[in-house]
Each structure stands twice: as C-alpha cells, then as structure tokens.
Amino acid sequence: MTTATPATTTDAVAPAARPTRSRVPGRLVPVLATLVLFVLMFGAGAARYENFGTPQTIVNLLIDNSFLVVLAVGMTFVILTGGIDLSVGSVVALSTMVAAWGLQQGVPAPLLLVGILVLGTAFGLLQGFVIQRFDIQPFIVTLAGMFLARGLSLLISDESISIDDDTFQAIASGSITLPGEVYVTYSVLIALAVLAVAAYVLHRTRFGRTVYALGGNEQSATLMGLSTARTKIGVYGISGFCASLAGLLFSFYMLSGYGLHAVGMELDAIAAVVIGGTLLAGGAGYVVGSLLGVLVLGTIQTLISFDGTLSSWWTKIFIGALLLAFIVLQRAALRRRG
C-alpha cells in the first residue's frame, strides 16, 4: 500500500514578488512642485531671451532679493504655527530709517547694527506676547504693529535719508568672485546663512518640532507637554529679528532710509512662503520651499524686465494668480487627506 507524500513548503509555488515603487513623501510634493515651476520658468526665459540662462542671472535673483529671502524665512516660522505677521514690511522700513538717521547722528555703525537687530527682535516678541497673553488673532495684533512701525519710521523723517557711511558702503559694494566669473554679494551670503540656521532649528531642535506641532494642533501639542506659549512668542521674535535684518540688507541695497520703503513687502513674503509649499493653516512646510518661492517671484520680475514691453504691474498680476493657484491646491490637498 502506497501512501502519498505530503507536499513540502518547497514544493509550493511562491507568489511573484511585487516590484517596490519609490514614492515621494507627500510633504515634499509642494516643494518639488515649486522647484519644477522655477525650472520651467527659468528654462522658458533662457530659450526666449539671449543671456537669460547664464549663471550670473541666477545669482542676480538672490542678489536682488536677499532681503526678501531673510524676510520669508521669518515668515515661514510664523505661518508654520498657523499665524501671520503683517508688520514685517513696516519693520524693514523702520530699520532703514533708524540706520540712516543713526548714522547721520554719528552713532558707530557696529553699535547701530546690533541695536537695530535688538529693536526688531523686541518688537516681534512684544507682538507675540500680546497674541499669546490676551488670545488675540495674530492678524489684528500684527496689523496694529504694521501701522505702529510705519508711523514711527515716518515720525523720524518723512523724507529719504541717504547713507554714505564707509562701513555700510563697503558691505553694499563688497562681493566674492566664484568660478566662472560669477560674483555674489555679502548680502546673499548672509541670507543663505540665515536659511541654513533656520533649517537646522526647524528640523534638528526641540523648538522646531514644537513649531510644527503647534501648527498641526495647538491643543494636542499642549497636552503633550510642549511649551506652546513660549514657542508662539518665540516665532514672532524670530520674525521680528529677520525683519530687522532684512531692513539692514535693504539699506545696503538702497543705501538710504525711507519711511515708505518696503510698502507691501510683507505680502511678497507671504506669497513666497505659500508658493514655496508652506500651508497657511500651519504644520507643514520648509524654509527651502520659501527660498524657491522667492526665486519664482524674482524670475517673474526678471522675465518682465527682459521682455521690456510689459508694465511692471504684470508682476503683481502673475504673483496673484500663482498665489491663488497654490492656495486652491493646498485646499484640495487638505480635503483629500480629510
């Protein structure tokens, strides 16, 4: 009598292994979309206009917008918590006026530089304290701060004050030559250093993790024992510091102080941050995306400048259309997650 031998596991046919697909993390998609948009726009300009696609043109985007990069970095911290800071443009103007007036009065340039940074940081911390302590909407508090800073700058002088200090002129005209005869200014190096420090703080420190948690869900972050109150005040202090530093970079760029400098620059910073992929609701975004957002805005301005037939107001039209498109995409992405 023969008995059937049971099939061993080695006799069983193994299911075909499915190929693994490398998927891009969802949190990186907005940043990559902004990068693709920048490459397409710059590529179109290089194909259409002579001398557009040179390395110096790319560097010039940073030279002409180094102050906006710093401003967008500070705004990124605030928007990541779900807040907003409308005062930064006025703080830029106030910083230029304090710098120009202080130099006119004979204040040493190094002392003035430190004083302006302290002033901007204190201004931001005060706004953050009011927002946190009295539970007032950031829009209202920073709107009041916008009027206050603009009024203070016009109180110093309602006319432009030129800057002829040797230290400021040396920083403004100084540059470093890179391979290929490409030069970068000191302001660009400062802006990139601020960007690098901000990226480290957001992704490698407890404060940065609290910023993201605060934007994701403030109540949950509080229940987790995170210091949400200090973090909320801190991000406005960072925004104020970046606004005052951006004001110094703008004073190097313009070599003047004026109470009407940087009118609407806070909206450019917000647009750069949102186009760079940071959610207006908070909790998601990268400072590198904000840099790409600034480059996109700068590319639009450069394209219009190279064209020569379009009014400069088309810059605002294109930026407005892009901003609306990215906000709609953000809303669609949030609904899909929900």
- 283, with CB counted inside 10 A (0-12, 13-18, 19+), is buried
Cα–Cα distance between 208 and 221 in angstroms, integer?
Answer: 13
38-47, 252-261, 321-330: range with lowest mean pLDDT: 321-330
Residue 55 lies in a domain: no
pLDDT at 256 over 70: yes
Residue 120 lies in a domain: yes
Q: Residue 272: which of 40, 89, 150, 136 has the closest Cα? A: 89
Residue 45 lies in a domain: no
Cα–Cα distance between 197 and 231 in angstroms, integer?
Answer: 17
- Average pLDDT score over residue span 242-262: 96
- Average pLDDT score over residue span 19-33: 71
Cα–Cα distance between 254 and 38 in angstroms, integer?
Answer: 27
pLDDT at 13 over 60: no
Q: What is the pLDDT of residues 262-312, one digit of tens each?
A: 999 999 999 999 999 999 888 889 999 999 999 999 999 888 888 777 777
- Average pLDDT score over residue span 147-159: 95
Kind and range of the H or E run holding 298: helix 287-307
Q: Residue 79: which of 256, 253, 279 has the closest Cα? A: 279
Residue 85 lies in a domain: yes
- Average pLDDT score over residue span 151-157: 94
- Average pLDDT score over residue span 23-39: 84
Residue 35 lies in a domain: no
* Number of domains within the chain: 1
134-148, 172-186, 237-251: range with lowest mean pLDDT: 172-186
Residue 224 lies in a domain: yes
**Tokens at residue 211, please?**
């910023």
Predicted local distance difference test score (pLDDT) of residue 21: 53
What band does 334 get if pLDDT is binned at 50, 70 and 90?
low
- Average pLDDT score over residue span 83-92: 96
Q: Collect contacts of 293-296 with beta carbons under 8 A, ≥24 apart.
A: 293/34, 293/72, 294/61, 294/65, 294/68, 294/69, 294/72, 295/38, 295/61, 295/62, 295/65, 296/34, 296/37, 296/38, 296/41, 296/272, 296/322
Residue 208 lies in a domain: yes
Range of the domain at 198: 67-262+278-284
